[in-house]
Amino acid sequence: MKLIVQPDAGVAPVVSAIKRAKKSIDVLIFRLDRREVIQALEAAAARGITVRALIAHTNRGGEKTLRKLEMGLLASGLTVTRTSDDLVRYHGKMLIVDAKILHVYGFNLTALDIGKSRSFGISTRNLHLVQEAIKLFEADCARQPYTAGYNRFVVSPENARECLSVFIKSARKQLLIYDPKVADPAILRLLNERQKAGVEIKIIGRMGSTKSELTAERYPGRRLHIRAIIRDGRRAFLGSQSLRRLELDKRREIGVIIHDDGVVRLMQTVFEQDWALTDRGKREAKKAVKAEKAEKAEKKEEKAEKKAEKAEIASQTAAG
């Protein structure tokens, strides 16, 4: 499993994944305006790759753009399907290459998300994740019901609430959360319970209007567009669903539970770097520096006292 960190990685990992395809590409699109990605998909179709694009039936303010994208991809030889309108929104972002490699993105394939926003994506060959992603893609293309079959593949509204509730309940020491808006009452209760149980909770993003003892720090960069949770430094969630009712229960959202140690460590490192630049992070750093200085002063004083005691003992010995 590999992690993509935006805006650092840019569009290259997405384009490279498409170019490496040998047989097939299935892509779920909510927003797409990066010309490099469109050209890579068109080039794949031109070289005989079966390319299927499942495009959201709507997005906020972009209906005309979506239809224009559909027509352009159809003209280039792609098989294009529009998602159903049975859910409020189809907001997931994923790419399946050769039915062997799954890419799940927290970012849309746009200049704003890729080039100017903090976000993550993963690529994996995990057989269960790939198979479950294919099952979901086929169901949504055919506008047929999807039944979740693997609890590490997190799909709203089918199993997201259950999977993320269990994920949060399992925290023993720490939860590091990126989320544009944490607002679901039931999830907030779980987070409050974990905090009362001694779990350290840090949130970069915003809190909803629901009353909670939790607080969130504003992302210190230009824009936050990731939903991710790092638990106890050992497990992580990455996806398109915020911890709010609409995205858990009424929209198509896609995420994964990550067990890969290297990926989890890297996600935690990025979070800690971002946290250090928040207001609370800066206060914590100042407090830590102050505590370190106090500790050094105390050790220096203890050392001086011991030195004085030795000198006094030596003096008494010489006098005796």
Write out pLDDT tens, residues 285-316: 988 888 778 778 788 888 878 887 887 777 77
Put simply, whether the predicted model's pTM sits higher than 0.75 gets the answer: yes
The reported pLDDT for the residue numbered 220 is 96
C-alpha span between 6 and 96 (Å, rounded): 20
pLDDT one-digit tens code per residue, 229-283? 999 999 999 999 999 999 999 999 999 999 999 999 999 999 999 999 999 999 9
Tokens of 162: 């259950």
Band of pLDDT at residue 45, cut at 50, 70 and 90: very high
Closest to 129 in 3D by CA, of 158, 156, 94, 169 = 94
- Dihedral angle computed from the Cα positions of residues 64, 68, 71 and 76, in that order, rounded to the nearest 10 degrees: -160
The reported pLDDT for the residue numbered 266 is 98
* Number of other CB atoms surrounding residue 74 within 10 Å: 12
Q: What structural domains does the chain harbor? A: 2-275 (3.30.870.10)
For residue 320, pLDDT beyond 70: no
pLDDT one-digit tens code per residue, 69-85? 899 999 999 999 999 99
pLDDT exceeding 90 applies to what percent of the chain?
82
Q: Order of strands across the sheet with 79-82?
A: 2-6, 119-124, 101-105, 94-97, 24-29, 50-55, 79-82
* Number of other CB atoms surrounding residue 144 within 10 Å: 9
C-alpha span between 73 and 45 (Å, rounded): 10
* Number of other CB atoms surrounding residue 5 within 10 Å: 16
The reported pLDDT for the residue numbered 208 is 86
